[in-house]
Amino acid sequence: MKLLLEKFRIIDLSIKKHKPLIHHITNYVTASDCANITLCFGAAPVMADALEEMADITGNADALVLNLGTVNKIKFASMLAAAKIAKMRGIPIVLDPVGVMATKMRLDMAIELITNRVQIIRGNYAECRALLGDNNFGQGVDAGIDCDIKGEFALQAAKKFNCVVAVTGAIDAVSDGKQVVIGRNGHELLAKVTGTGCMTTTLIACGAAVSDDYFSAALFGITAMNVAAEHAAALNGVDGLGTFKVKLFDAVSNLTGLKAAEGFRGDKL
């Protein structure tokens, strides 16, 4: 575990040194938040979804985020084109399968993207269960799911999809199909602010952009968001969701890999 957490510091320093370009094809609800959290983390965002631009934009990026939050057929065509370019050039792809348990269209799109090869999937428990064919698990609430169940589920999903799978929520589970780490950081206010899951996906992509250890990159991105949330909620002047969100951005911008490692609470299964 100590070796794993040491990688947080290395990834963080690499992000700040190289300032990787993160291409997002994301949803319009959280696009601004994802762009700003990228900057807070020391990377650079680009938000482009025109099909005609994919060769230039994705081809020059260091990581690609595909978020299904407000997907449609036109945007999905751009996602497929971007994924093809990323695959050809060895650019890591991070998929956020937002709402795949809600419609067949989203689920089919997510499976097609996974089939075309993504390196990391980050979703909540219901979304990840839907990816595995179980579409009868509500809308994402997972407070009653213990760490052993979630950890085993992340392991099974990672093996099936041959990539890193991060199942996030009240308890987080990250697996690469061989190992599982449970994370217990975070704050209840994260679940009340729109976009914190999308922003977590962005932080994961920042890590993947500078390290081919995608397991560590995923765990670092999740831990960074959760530890920052704990710091933000503890600050004076947090009177509600609005001030918490502002303080969250501040906390992410001031977070270091060392602070994330020192604040991490969790264990290997």
Torsion of CA 37, 139, 170, 222, to 10 degrees: -30
| Residue 211 DSSP label | -
Residues 6+ apart with CB under 8 A from 156: 132
Q: How high is the pLDDT of residue 136?
A: 61
Indicate the domain borders of the chain: 2-268
> Residue 3, SS3?
helix
187-246: per-residue pLDDT in tens?
999 999 999 999 999 999 999 999 999 999 999 999 999 999 999 999 877 888 999 999
Residue 209 has phi, psi (to 5 degrees) of: -70, -25
| Residue 22 DSSP label | E
Q: How high is the pLDDT of residue 141?
A: 47
Q: Which residues are bridge partners to 183 per DSSP?
A: 172, 266
In terms of pLDDT, which residue wins out, 20 or 5?
Answer: 20
Half-sphere exposure of 13 (CA within 13 A, CB side): 6
Q: How high is the pLDDT of residue 90?
A: 97
222-233: per-residue pLDDT in tens?
999 999 999 999
CATH 3.40.1190.20 for domain 2-268, yes or no, is yes
Residue 211 has phi, psi (to 5 degrees) of: -145, 130
Which pairs with CB-CB distance under 8 Å and at least 24 residues apart come from 141-147? 142/169, 142/170, 142/171, 143/169, 143/170, 145/169, 145/171, 146/171, 147/171, 147/173, 147/182, 147/184, 147/269
pLDDT above 70 for 139:
no
